[in-house]
Chain A
Amino acid sequence: MKMSIEKLLEKYYEGETSTEEEKELKRFFREENVPKDLESHAAQFGYFAAAREEYPSLTFTGALAARLDPPQQGPVRRFTSWIVQIAAGLALLLVGFAGGYVLQKGSDRSGDRVAGSADEVPRHAIKNALAFEKMASTSASERIQAVNQSYELTNVDTETTQLLINTLNFDPNINVRLAACQALVHFENEPQVNEALIHSLSIQTDPNIQILLIEALVAIREKRASEQFQQLARNGKNMEVVRLRAEQGIGELSNTHVQSL
């Protein structure tokens, strides 16, 4: 036994032993009664065996596990991040397309509504803007816009024409009144409109509107207006142009009367 150990030791120091032989040496120096002359070799084999039993402390393995788990997110997040980025990009594109599609559909539908059912939207807008009590809070351009919206109406109701007549007679802004006048001419078929235009002639003092009204009445051949025209022509307060236009209007109206006869 001792002989073989000595041989093994010799081989060992030559670096020629196999792992099995080295294990045998370790076992020998750990377990057997080591002869005195071999004792000096015991220390290193003892050390090797003992060193092999060394392990990192439990607190270390715990701390490492704790560090490995959260960092798991880090790299994983980094790994997925470009996927996420692409996905986010695609999602944004989809949202954009979907939004565009929905908006387009919505506008299509509102277009359908104008063509199909009655003119709810402009009518509502006109009423909103031209309502007498709101006159103080709306601007002239807003009211003109509202008046112009009435052209979009295919058929008007008395409420809307009454609103336009009121605007024609009482709006503080001349331009709004002019717009209302033109809008009303557009609706000459409505029963109240013609009377309202004739009546308005006696109210209006602005030459622009007076002339526009005369022309409008002549254009729609409203013979009942001739009396009003004569009053205008006689009234010295009116401007020269207006009186001339009124006289001319009388002539035109009677001409058409004659022609129609």
Chain B
Amino acid sequence: MDLQTFNQRILPVQGRLFRLAQMFLRNREEAEDAIQDVLLRLWTNRQQLETYQSIDALAVQMTKNLCLDRLKSHRNQKTEGGTDISEVHAKEQSPYALLESSDSSRLIHQLIGGLPEQHKLVLHLRDVEEYSFEEIEEVTGLTNANIRVILSRARQKLRESYLKASNYENEH
């Protein structure tokens, strides 16, 4: 695979990978850094890429794994730094922080961040990237039924927490 084919096949995906990374890492620079990592890895292993059925799915998987790894190491660093995970977590979701985000999109963004990883991933792939269930199956390795359940739960959870947060907002 030469640079041209690589550019044709992989680079159009980079927007999608970027959004996924941004959803996980919630930071533009870190997301860019992560997908650069992914793309360079794909590029160095491009000889084997031909053997994969769907390079898209592979790239998405790689991005997801890399982001989760990074989040994990971030959390570890924070724990080592003496800050409690739950504290950080709580801070992220504290109503005061949510109150500060006047923009409802940002609020949603933060709320999605509070969902479990798998819910996040499925919700993101479906509602933002508009993946079909088959494509989500390919990326996550989950069954169709499983995906539907997770998706439904994620959507309801998002709605609930949004209502809660906006109510809180309205009340104050």
In the complex, what residues of B have CB within 8 A of residue A50's CB?
Answer: 105
Which partner residue on chain A sits nearest B130 by CB separation? A19
**Distance, CA A30 to CA B137, complexed state (A):** 29
Q: Is A46 an interface residue (CB 8 A)?
A: yes
Known contacts A56-B35, A64-B36; decide if A46 and B105 are in contact (CB<8 Å): yes
**Least CB separation from B18: chain A residue:** A56
> Is B8 located at the chain interface by the 8 A CB criterion?
no
How many residues of chain A have a CB within 8 Å of chain B? 35
B140 at the interface (CB under 8 A from A): no
Q: Is residue B77 within 8 Å, beta carbon to beta carbon, of the partner chain?
A: no
B148 on the A face (CB < 8 A): yes
The reply to whether A12 and B104 form a contact with Cβ atoms under 8 Å apart is: no
**Bound state CA distance, A48 and B108, in angstroms?**
9
Given contact pairs A46-B105, A47-B105, A71-B43, A16 touches B159 in the complex (Cβ within 8 A) = no
Enumerate chain A residues within 8 angstroms of B46, measured Cβ to Cβ: 75
Q: What chain A residues lie within 8 Å of B47 (beta carbons)?
A: 75, 79
Measured CA separation A60–B18 after assembly (Å): 11
B-to-A contact residues, CB < 8 Å: 3, 6-7, 11, 14-15, 18-19, 22-23, 28, 31-32, 35-36, 39-40, 43-44, 46-47, 104-105, 107-109, 112, 126-132, 147-153, 155-156, 158-159, 162-163, 166
8 new A-B contacts at CB < 8 Å, known A43-B104, A71-B43: A14-B148, A15-B152, A44-B127, A44-B159, A46-B105, A63-B36, A68-B43, A72-B3
Q: Which residues of A contact B (CB under 8 A)?
A: 12-16, 19, 22-23, 40-44, 46-48, 50-52, 54-57, 60-61, 63-64, 67-69, 71-72, 74-75, 79
11 A–B contacts, CB within 8 A, in A order? A19-B130, A19-B132, A43-B107, A43-B108, A44-B159, A47-B112, A48-B127, A57-B28, A60-B36, A61-B11, A71-B40
